[in-house]
């Protein structure tokens, strides 16, 4: 009797396993992810006071890593992070990124100046640690492109534009700087043709996939709670943009993740 083939291995490069949505069932959520082939995931920091919880989750599960940072929408009601604080928190072997940081003018434009200050602090921490910067950008394309380019000219750093759903110009700026674009479930929504065109114009070796769980579940789970297992739905939906089969696209995006999130790649090799 032939054994069933295993699904292709994928990485959920951006999820939020510490959120209350997963309270009491985190183990089952991670088991379902593994069953879907999502064997690695990064649980992302939105507030530095929650880093201990993120660290504990990463320590408790193989293949789970974490980041350190303050979300731009949290900047106004959180103490301003310092470069030194971020660098210290990032010393843990399973911390693989800085962020998510960035700019969000959709709901929190009134804190734009503080968001920009925080973003530059996170960029400097990414430089000092050589860990990738994880960027959240919403309704702030011009300022985001300007700051990313200015700071890169002042000293190179690595970066991923998480849950990319901004315009083509910001995508081109990011790609020209050597950054990566990450596709969430939004890229699989039926009416996201313009966004899929942006991704299709990007080199496939600069693409990651993610859930941003518990948000933005892709079809056929749209409108429900998202979880890391659903990375496979997004990857399957967008693989044809590069003329690729799902298996090949899963392999390519995993290689891309290893290249950018090199500390996670090192941990896998060490294991």
User: What pLDDT does 7 receive?
Assistant: 84
Residue 171 main-chain phi, psi, to 5 deg: -60, -45
Is it the case that residue 251 has pLDDT exceeding 90?
Answer: yes
The three-point CA angle 192-160-56 to 5° equals 110
List the domain boundaries for the chain: 10-270
User: What pLDDT does 268 receive?
Assistant: 58
Question: For residue range 29-64, what is the model confidence (pLDDT) as tens digits?
Answer: 999 999 999 999 999 999 999 999 999 999 999 999
Tokens of residue 89, six digits: 């928190």
pLDDT band at 271 (very low <50, low <70, confident <90, very high): very low
Contacts 24+ apart (CB under 8 A), 260-266: 260/132, 260/158, 260/160, 260/180, 260/208, 261/13, 261/42, 261/65, 261/96, 261/97, 261/132, 263/65, 263/93, 263/95, 263/96, 263/131, 264/40, 264/42, 264/65, 264/96
Instruction: Please report, rounded to a whole number, the percentage of residues in the chain having pLDDT higher than 90.
Output: 94
Residue 192 main-chain phi, psi, to 5 deg: -100, 35
Q: Averaged over 248-252, what is the pLDDT?
A: 98
Is it the case that residue 177 has pLDDT exceeding 60?
Answer: yes
Is it the case that residue 13 has pLDDT exceeding 80?
Answer: yes
User: What pLDDT does 4 receive?
Assistant: 56
Is it the case that residue 257 has pLDDT exceeding 90?
Answer: yes
User: What pLDDT does 160 receive?
Assistant: 98
Is it the case that residue 1 has pLDDT exceeding 50?
Answer: no
Neighbour-count burial for 181-211, b at 16+ CB within 10 Å, e otherwise: bbbbbbbbbeebeebbebbeebebebbbbbb
The mean of the pLDDT values for the chain is: 96
pLDDT band at 6 (very low <50, low <70, confident <90, very high): confident
Q: Averaged over 157-185, what is the pLDDT?
A: 98
The rounded Cα 170 to chain-centroid distance in angstroms is 17
CATH architecture of 10-270: Alpha-Beta Barrel (3.20)
Question: For residue range 157-168, what is the model confidence (pLDDT) as tens digits?
Answer: 999 999 999 999
CA quadruple 228, 232, 235, 238: dihedral, nearest 10:
-120
Question: For residue range 203-237, what is the model confidence (pLDDT) as tens digits?
Answer: 999 999 999 999 999 999 999 999 999 999 999 99
Question: For residue range 67-103, what is the model confidence (pLDDT) as tens digits?
Answer: 999 999 999 999 999 999 999 999 999 999 999 999 9
pTM: 0.95
Strand partners, 138: 104
pLDDT band at 2 (very low <50, low <70, confident <90, very high): very low
């Amino acid at each position: 009797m032939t054994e069933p083939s295993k699904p292709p291995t994928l990485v959920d490069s951006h999820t939020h396993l510490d959120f209350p949505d997963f309270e009491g069932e985190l183990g089952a959520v991670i088991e379902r992810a593994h069953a879907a082939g999502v064997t690695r995931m990064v649980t992302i920091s939105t507030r530095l006071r929650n880093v201990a919880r993120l660290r504990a989750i990463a320590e408790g599960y193989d293949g789970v890593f974490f980041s350190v940072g303050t979300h731009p929408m949290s900047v106004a009601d959180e103490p301003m992070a310092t470069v030194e604080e971020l660098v210290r928190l990032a010393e843990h072997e399973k911390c693989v990124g800085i962020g998510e940081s960035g700019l969000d003018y959709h709901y929190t434009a009134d804190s734009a100046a503080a968001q920009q200050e925080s973003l530059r602090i996170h960029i400097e921490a990414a430089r000092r640690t050589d860990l990738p910067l994880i960027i959240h950008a919403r309704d702030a394309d011009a300022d985001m492109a300007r700051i990313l380019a200015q700071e890169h000219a002042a000293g190179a750093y690595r970066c991923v534009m998480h849950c990319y759903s901004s315009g083509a110009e910001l995508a081109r700026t990011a790609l020209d700087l050597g950054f990566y674009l990450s596709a969430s479930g939004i890229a699989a929504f039926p009416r996201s043709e313009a966004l899929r065109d942006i991704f299709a114009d990007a080199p496939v070796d600069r693409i990651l996939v993610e859930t941003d769980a518990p948000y933005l579940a892709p079809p056929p789970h749209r409108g429900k709670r998202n979880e890391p297992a659903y990375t496979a739905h997004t990857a399957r939906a967008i693989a044809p943009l590069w003329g690729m089969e799902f298996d090949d696209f899963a392999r390519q995006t995993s290689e891309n993740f290893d290249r950018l999130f090199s500390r996670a790649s090192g941990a896998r090799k060490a294991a």
